[in-house]
A and B are shown apart, each in its own frame.
Chain A
Amino acid sequence: MSKSSGHVQVLTANRLGDGAVVFLNFDGDWVATLAGAVIARSPDEARGLVARGLFDAGRNLVVDPYLVEMREVAGALLPIRQRERVRLDGPSILDDVPGYTAPVERPPNAAARGAEANAAEGAGPHRGERLTGAEAA
C-alpha cells in the first residue's frame, strides 16, 4: 500500500486561531512538533487519521487537515517532501529577515523531530491525501 517502502504518515493541519502548523499527537492534542505524533502504518490507520482530522476541523480546532508522508530514520520522522520539511521547520530565512522578532510563545525548536516510533505496528501506509486544496494566489 505504501508508495515507498518504510514510509509512514502523520496527520497535520493549521491551527484555526493563528494558522500555525500542528500535528496530531497520541493525547489527541494538536501540537507544534512531531514528538508523540500519531503514526499511520496501514490504510486503516490512515483512514482513521483522516476521519479524526475532519472531525477536529468540524470542531474548529484546525483547518485543512491532511496526511503527510514521512520516512523513519533512526526512530525519528523526516518528511519526504521538501514542502513538508519547510512547513515543519518554518521559513528557512528568518535569521535574515530585517527586524524579525520571534513570538515568545513559539516553541524554541518547532522542528523537533525526535518522534518516538510509537504507533501501532502494521502494514505500510497508503498514499497521503490532502483533504482540501490550497487557495489560489
Chain B
Amino acid sequence: MYRYDEFDAAFVRQRVAQFRDQVARRLSGELTEDEFKPLRLKNGVYLQLHAYMLRIAIPYGTMSARQLRKLAHIARTYDRGFGHFTTRQNLQFNWPKLADIPDILAELAEVEMHAIQTSGNNVRNVTADHFAGATAEEVADPRPYAEIIRQWSSLHPEFSFLPRKFKIGITASEHDRSAIKTHDIGLHLKRLGGGGLGFAVWVGGGQGRTPYLAQLIRDALPEADLLSYLEAILRVYNLHGRRDNIHKARIKILINGIGLEAFRSEVEAEWIRIKDGVLKLPEQELARIEAYFAPPQFAARPPPAELRPADRSFDRWVTRNTHAHKQPGYAILTITLKPIGGIPGDASAAQMDAIADIAERFSCDEVRVSHEQNLVLPHVRLGDLWSLYQELKAIGLAEANAGLATDIIACPGLDYCALANARSIPIAQRLSARLAPRQDLVGDLKIKISGCINACGHHHVGAIGILGVEKRGEEHYQLLLGGSGTEAAALASITGPGFGPDGIINAVEKVVDTYLRLRAGPQEAFLAAYARLGAEPFKEAIYASA
C-alpha cells in the first residue's frame, strides 16, 4: 500500500492548515459564502439538504485497517455514527459541523488520507478495479498507475480549474469491474505486442444528463507515455471545453461535438510535442511506486480449512461473495453493504471498526471499496472463511448477495442530496425486501438507482436502472433496461412513462417476472435474455394494465 513520503505529508498538513484558516475566516464573516464556496469544494465540503457533507478520498478504493478505524472514529466523534461509501470509491459523512471539519481533516492526515479534489472542477479520485492486486485475471496491478496519476493530478496548476469535473478509471483485466467506459478517461492496462505493458485509452465517457460511452482514442500507449498522453488530453479539453454552460462542459460533449477524429488529431499533435519531455515515466520511478503495492507475504501452503458444521447459508455465502484469487489457497471476499432492506453503502462506526479488525487478522491489513458500494477483503485464506463468516454475521454484514438483485447501487438521493429530485434509498430498500425471496432464482442482476439526472447511482448502466425525477412537486421514477458498465458496456433505454414510488417497485417486479418466464434457462442471464427478447415483452408486462 502506498505510504506518504515527506512531500505528501507536508502537502496535506499544509492544506489542512490553510483550510482551518479559511473556515475560521468564513465563520467570523471575513469571507462571504461566494468567496468560501470554491475553497470548501476544493476540500470536499458540500452544503447538502440538511447539513454539510464531507467527501473523503479513498485512492483507487484501497485502505488499511488503520485508515478504516480512523473513519470509524470520525463517524463516532464528529458525525452521527455512520458513513456512506459511494460509487466513486469515496466515503461521505453527512452531518459534520463546519467548525469541526479542519479537525477531521487533521485526523485524516494522521493516517495519510484527505478530501482534496473530491469535488470541484479538477481530476477527481482515480478509481480502480477493487480486485486489483488479487485477481489472476489482470496483467499487472493497476494501482501503481492510479497512484502516479493521483500524484500528477493533485493540485496540477494547469488543471485545477477545468471546465468541469474529470474522472479517470483504470482496470487491468479484460473483465471490466471499474466501468472504465463511463469515465472521462478510461484506462485498460494490458500487454502490448512487444511484450511490454501499456494502455488502451478510452475517452469521453460519462453518465449524467447526456450519457455517452467512452471511445477508443489510442489502443496501445506504452506505459512510459501515460502521463504525457493524459496531459495532452486534459490540455485539449481545457482549451476547448465549454465554460458557458455547465450542462455542456464535460469532455464527452466536446468530443461528441467535434468528433473523435478531430479530438484525437489535436491530442496527438500535442502529445508529439511533449511526449519526450519531463512527463516521460522513468522506469525507476515506476518501480519505486510499484514496490508499495508488492503482494503481501502469502502463506506458501495455507493450512487446510478448519472443520465446520454443514451450513447451507455459509455455502451460499462462499459461492456468491468469494472470487478466485491469484494465490492458491486464498480468495477475494466481498462484504456487501446491502443487508436485505438496508441502506446501500452505509456502515456504522462499530461495523467499520469490526471490519478493520477483521482485515488485520484475515486480509493482510487491506480493505477495498468497490464502486458498487461494497467492501472487499482482497487476500483471505480459504481456511479462514468459516471464522470470518461468523464474525461478519455478528455485525450484520454476512449477506450472501454479491451481484444479485438486492446488491443495489443507490445514490443518497433526496434524503440527503441538494441536487436530487427524488429519494433513492427507500426505493432500494423496498426493492431489496421485495426481491430477496427470489434473488437466488433470478441470479446476477444489477439494479442501479439515481435520485436525479446527475446519475451518481449509475442508472444508465444498470441492467435495471431507475431515475428519480420531480413531477409537479412529487417524486416520480423512470425505468430503464439493458445497461451495463462492464467491458460490454451499454446504455440502458427508458421503457416508457414513469411511475410513482409504489408503481416503480411493481414495475421492477414485473420485469423480473417477465425475465423468469421468458429466459432460456437459469444459464441465460438477464442482459442476455434482454438482448435476445428485446424490450417489448418487458414493456408489455409493465404497461399492460396501465
Contact = CB atoms under 8 A, between A and B. Distances in A.
Contacts of B416: 91
Contacts of B59: none
B221 to A, nearest CB: 30
Contact of B99 (A14, A17, A87): A17
Interface residues of A, number: 36
B347 interface: yes
B454 A64 contact: no
B514 interface: no
Contact of A17 (B27, B351, B454): B27
A16 B27 contact: yes
B227 interface: no
Contacts of A5: none
B27 A19 contact: no
A135 B37 contact: yes
Residue of B32, B37, B50 with most chain A CB atoms under a 10 A cut-off: B50
Interface in B6-53: 26-29, 32-33, 37, 41, 46-52
Interface of A is mostly: loop
Interface stretch (B187-195, B231-239, B468-476, B477-485): B468-476
Interface in A80-106: 80-83, 86-87, 90-93, 96-103
A136 interface: yes
A21 B47 CA distance: 11
A92 B415 contact: yes
Nearest to A58: B32
Given A59-B29, A63-B33, A137-B454, A98 B423 contact: no
Interface string A29-64: 000000000000000000000000000011110011
A119 B414 CA distance: 30
A87 B82 contact: no
B50 A21 contact: yes
B423 A92 contact: yes
Contact of A135 (B342, B415, B418, B421): B418
A104 to B, nearest CB: 11
B50 to A, nearest CB: 6
A98 B350 CA distance: 9
B80 interface: yes
19 contacts: A16-B27, A18-B52, A19-B50, A20-B51, A59-B29, A60-B29, A64-B33, A64-B47, A82-B470, A90-B50, A92-B415, A93-B343, A93-B425, A93-B426, A97-B81, A97-B346, A99-B348, A99-B349, A100-B82
3 tightest A-B contacts by CB? Answer: A99-B348, A98-B348, A91-B415
